C-alpha cells in the first residue's frame, strides 16, 4: 500500500564483509540498514501485442 515503510537490514557478511568499500564510506564489517517507503503505486505498462 502507498505509504507503507520497511526497514531492510543486511548483515556485513551478506554486504561488503571485512573489506568494506574501496572509498571508505562503508567500513569493514558494517551492517547496512535501509528504510524504504512506497510512495506511489503505478499502473503496469502494457506491452504491445506481437502479431
Mind listing the pLDDT tens digit for each residue in 1-26? 999 999 999 999 999 999 999 988 99
The answer to pTM > 0.85 is no
What is the reported pLDDT for 46? Answer: 81
DSSP 1-51: -TT-EEEEEE-GGGTTGGG--TTSSS-TTPPEEEEEE---PPPPPPPPPP-
The answer for 41, left when phi > 0, alpha when psi is -120 to 50, beta otherwise, is beta
Amino acid at each position: 500500500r502507498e505509504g507503507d515503510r520497511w526497514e531492510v537490514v543486511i548483515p556485513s557478511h551478506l554486504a561488503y564483509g571485512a573489506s568494506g568499500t574501496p572509498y571508505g564510506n562503508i567500513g569493514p564489517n558494517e551492517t547496512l540498514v535501509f528504510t524504504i517507503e512506497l510512495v506511489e503505486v503505478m499502473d503496469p505498462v502494457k506491452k504491445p501485442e506481437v502479431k
